[in-house]
Amino acid sequence: PWLNYSYSGVDSTSTPSIMNFIDGNFENQTPPATAAAINDSTTIPIYNPATNQLLSCIPESSSSSSSNTNITTAATPAERAILSAKSAYPSWSQTPVQIRQRLLLEYAHLLHQKEGKTTADAMGDVWRGLEVVEAATRVGSEMLGDSLQNLSNGLDTISYRVPLGVCAGIAPFNFPAMIPLWMFPLAIATGNTYVLKPTEKAPSASLLLVKYLHELGLPPGVVNVINGGRNTVDTMLTHPDVKAISFVGSNTAGEYIHDVGSRHGKRVQANLGAKNHATVILADAEKVSTIKALVGAAFGAAGQRCMALSVVIFVGELEESKRWANELVEEAKKLKVGSGFEEGVDIGPLISKDATERAEKIIQQSIDDGATCMLDGRDITVKGYENGNWLGPTVINLSGEHYTNPQVPITNPAYVEEIFAPVLTILTVPTLDDAIQISNNNRYGNGTAIFTSSGGAARKYQYEIEAGQVGINVPIPVPLPFFSFTGNKSSIRGDVNFYGKSGVQFFTQLKTVTSNWQYAKGTDLGGVTMPVL
Ligand code: NAD
């Protein structure tokens, strides 16, 4: 229902456009995608990355960063969505927590049934999001406050965790189901209402997820979905009725969103980019399983995962490093590149032509800078999908010599840039200390992993490494929702993490009530009350 085929004046051959979901209804506002519409700044096209065929388009839901706070005259869809969430808030926030939890329990059950219908990668995307929904079904115990009695004669204090109001989320393309599910389920479980802006590159999953929730009886306005890009984001960041912003995506967007949102008095949690380093102690790591783990973590989902391992540091002799690198390349060559809808495919397309060209350019710059390209994924052809955004697994080796002085910055572009593509860079260092220092000098600190049989080395690494998520013989250590998704250095802005206890903290604020029930008509508590503060 979120595809609009019926916009007047457009012939039946045009591509459907994607609608917004505001106040419980899909909105039929955008013209279907036509060449003319795409050249219009109010419409954003969506292409199939495996073919570059135009699939559909989305509206830009705000024309400016203006903030109209009157629901009857609100000009843009973004403003109407925020105001719809504002009107839904009083009743939703007063809905008993067990009823909110029960709805999410049914939602988890429904997602579980639907999730079986997707392909392998998409299944992981839904599954990891579903686990956050499951955690939200137990939110009542996470929301418990504190109390202390008889702080003075007859004086008791209780603190409650109460919701914030309208919260908003801005999501990236690479996990179009999981990341929205990190956002709105916990927000509404804790009593807030929501406005979600999905990625403009793959927005349908969000609409489907929210449609399911409404089919279970969620009241209109509690969750709204608005499509768009920068203008829509600006309205969310500046509108006085939005109390908190959750963002996941690149540093360029996230640093801007954190700064502007914070300046406008909103809570902001922002998970940003990554350049995740794996460290392998060649002398004692188990070779076969480590190489398989590295290849899966570097090239799975075409490297378009914020927890992808994009750098591996071999700790040991150069000759031994060469042997490992050769075996890694042989393993990577076995991967099949192709459309995600075909059987047996390991690596799908990159999200866009621009992303592919950028990755290819960085590979070339890296080679020009002196790196050895051991496996070059450029110029790959996928039969039947010749026009897709393909890049095969690429291995760049900077191990001509040991990096012995971690204080000297590594400037090779393949090392410096977050490429977000199936490109793995290899370095070799003599000691674990060098590996730790290099990782810690890197601007990002999202995830990391060490492969070793030595408990001592693993413990030193977990203690000294500056990364949000640390894997010990685990390649992509994404925490389950009992914990929180963390981050370090430039991989995060804001100080309250997604999901887990931190997620509940983010979506609630403390209210402290101090009462004196020795007070009663006719009881003199003694003296004039002169509060200390
Ligand atoms: P992106 O930053 O381009 O887009 C994310 C969202 O921000 C989209 O909704 C987009 O419309 C909006 N946006 C983009 N540019 C903007 C701007 N200038 N101003 C305001 N809003 C803007 O990110 P992407 O390409 O969709 O996703 C890939 C990035 O996300 C990578 O950097 C990856 O590391 C990161 N990521 C991080 C995590 C994490 O948890 N740390 C998880 C997934 C992805």
Cα separation, 272 vs 274, whole angstroms: 7
Instruction: Specify whether the CB–CB gap between 475 and 278 falls below 8 A.
Output: yes
What rounded mean pLDDT belongs to the chain? 91
The larger pLDDT score, comparing residue 147 to residue 526, is at 147
> 16 pLDDT band (50/70/90 cuts)?
confident
Question: Does residue 7 carry a pLDDT above 80?
Answer: no
pLDDT the model gives residue 343: 86
- Report the predicted TM-score, pTM, of the whole model to 2 decimal places: 0.94
If one residue of 238, 260, 306, 310 were mutated to test the ligand 1 pocket, choosing by the most ligand atoms within 8 A of its CB, it would be 306
Residues taking part in catalysis: 306
Ligand 1 pocket, Cβ-based, cut-off 6 angstroms: 170-174, 197, 199-200, 229-230, 233, 248-250, 252-253, 256-257, 271-274, 306, 418, 420, 446, 485, 487, 491
Cα separation, 418 vs 359, whole angstroms: 9
Neighbours of 527 (CB within 10 A): 6
Instruction: Specify whether the CB–CB gap between 426 and 397 falls below 8 A.
Output: yes
User: Which residues make beta-bridge pairs with 470?
Assistant: 448
358-411: pLDDT as tens digits: 999 999 999 999 999 999 999 899 999 999 999 999 999 998 888 877 778 899
What is the residue type of 51? Answer: T
164-223: pLDDT as tens digits: 999 999 999 999 999 999 999 999 999 999 999 999 999 999 999 999 999 999 999 999
Cα separation, 46 vs 33, whole angstroms: 9
Which of 18-22, 275-279, 368-372 is the least confident region? 18-22
Q: What is the DSSP string of 271-322?
A: E----EEEEEETTTS-HHHHHHHHHHHHHGGGG-STT-EEEEEEES-HHHHH
pLDDT the model gives residue 519: 81
427-460: pLDDT as tens digits: 999 999 999 999 999 999 999 999 999 999 999 9
- Tell me the CA–centroid distance for residue 247 and ligand 1, in Å: 8
Q: Which atom of ligand 1 is nearest to the CA of 249?
A: 30
The phi, psi pair for 508, rounded to 5°, reads -135, 160
Task: Measure CA 338 to chain center.
Answer: 25
If one residue of 61, 231, 250 were mutated to test the ligand 1 pocket, choosing by the most ligand atoms within 8 A of its CB, it would be 250
